[in-house]
Amino acid sequence: MTDAERVLAALIHDVRTPLGVAHGYLRLVRTDKLPSPEDRDRALAGTQDALAKISRLCQDAGGFLEDPRPGAVRTPARQLADRVAAVLAERGVTVGEMDPPDGSVDVGTSVDRAAEAIATLLSVRAGRTPGVVTRIDGTAAALRFACGPAADGAPGPALDGDERPFDPWQSRQGLGVALAHRLITALGGRVWTARDGLALALYIPMESGNA
């Protein structure tokens, strides 16, 4: 399948559930089958939530029509690392270790957009893996983000030596994940998972010296 076909298939698949929810609630309201004003209010709120999900799905699908890498904003690696940690904290994910190297990274149009994309990818493992640990570190050439079970005797997940490329379309992880992966790869980054699928690592190219 082409990416366009994958986007269309994912959109059709993901929109069915909230669309069905909205239809169900509105049918109850229209046929006056709700016993109290409170039930009616809950049905309307549920309809609004379902429509909001559909709106987000359409927004993500539309993102694939945009240039994945407009602009060329560079920022200190530490600034991007701090922003990713803040976004993860908002999502209930704690960064256990944080030691970003000195240097600058390309974030495309903005550090916020890049941070949201990185946090979205890390959340794929953070939300599914028990005992998950997240860490941010790097080398002289790359800023690294890793998320997964802690290795024995190590402060964070270990992937080195047994990795495979991350497939954003696998197991219908959502258009937001695929869109985030598209942005990171457009910035020259790579996303990898452990062979067992329990840990994920993301690398962003880095130049020595801050922006």
What pLDDT is stored for residue 163 in this prediction?
A: 73
Q: Write the class of the CATH domain 73-205.
A: alpha beta
Distance CA 37, CA 33 (A): 11
Q: What is the pTM of this model?
A: 0.81
What contacts 24+ positions apart, CB below 8 Å, involve 3-6?
Answer: 3/64, 4/64, 6/169, 6/178
pLDDT tens-place values along the chain, 211 residues long: 788 888 898 889 889 999 999 999 999 999 988 889 999 999 999 999 999 999 988 988 888 888 776 667 899 999 999 999 999 989 888 888 888 889 999 998 899 999 999 999 998 876 555 667 788 998 889 999 988 876 654 545 655 556 788 988 886 788 999 999 999 999 999 998 876 667 888 999 998 765 4
CA angle 130, 136, 137 (to 5 degrees): 135
- State the CB neighbour count (10 A cutoff) for residue 32: 8
What pLDDT is stored for residue 62 in this prediction?
A: 87
Q: Are 96 and 148 in contact (CB under 8 A)?
A: no
181: exposed, middle or buried (Cβ count in 10 Å: 0-12, 13-18, 19+): buried
What pLDDT is stored for residue 158 in this prediction?
A: 56
What pLDDT is stored for residue 181 in this prediction?
A: 94
Q: Is 103 helix (H, G, I), strand (E, B) or coil?
A: coil
CB within 8 Å of 13: residues ≥ 6 apart? 172
Domain segments of the chain: what residues? 3-63, 73-205
What pLDDT is stored for residue 21 in this prediction?
A: 95
What pLDDT is stored for residue 151 in this prediction?
A: 61
